[in-house]
Structure 1
């Protein structure tokens, strides 16, 4: 498989590193018997951050790998795919 990097990849890696820190903090919160509401709030924040990173990664892939490789007859279908990914 060919290696490639998109312009967004370094920023996504930074986001993932921050999320990794969040998850470690959440584990520490649970170990220190913090309030369930506080833990749940942090879990929701980490989940949202991870979903955002995933969305950025997928949309970037569509924009740079699929659209660029598509023939003119497929570009309309890819535009529709891009549009619907906003609802994921």
Structure 2
């Protein structure tokens, strides 16, 4: 199992997003105003986006740097992995 230093922070952000999402479902069930629901959905999106960004940056800072150091200069595998992960930014 590979644990990054940011995994606890990412986990907390995702738990926060999960809480917001549960609130959205409850708000819909309760017939809350659309504006309030959209505000909560926005909070979910922001929390997930922040978690994704933190995880990607951590991966770039550690995993890809380690791969480049371990392999010969100009490693195609590291470049390919970089291209793959940047599509999620």
TM-score interval (norm. to shorter): 0.7 to 0.9
Aligned residues of 2:16 and 2:47 also touching (Cα < 8 A): no
Q: Stretches of 4+ moved more than 2 A in 1?
A: 71-74
Displacement of 1:49 in angstroms is 1.1
- Alpha-carbon RMSD: 2.0
Is 2:18 aligned against 1:20?
Answer: yes
Structure 2 residues not aligned, in runs of 5+: none
Displacement of 1:72 in angstroms is 4.1
For residues 27-69 of structure 1, what are the alpha-carbon distances to aligned partners after superposition, in whole Å with 9 as ceiling and x for unaligned?
0001000000110111011101101100110111111101111
What is the count of residue pairs matched by the alignment? 78
Normalising to structure 2: TM-score of the pair? 0.76
Counterpart selection for 2:4 from 3, 6, 20: 6
Q: Tell me which residue corresponds to 1:44.
A: 42
Structure 1 residues not aligned, in runs of 5+: none
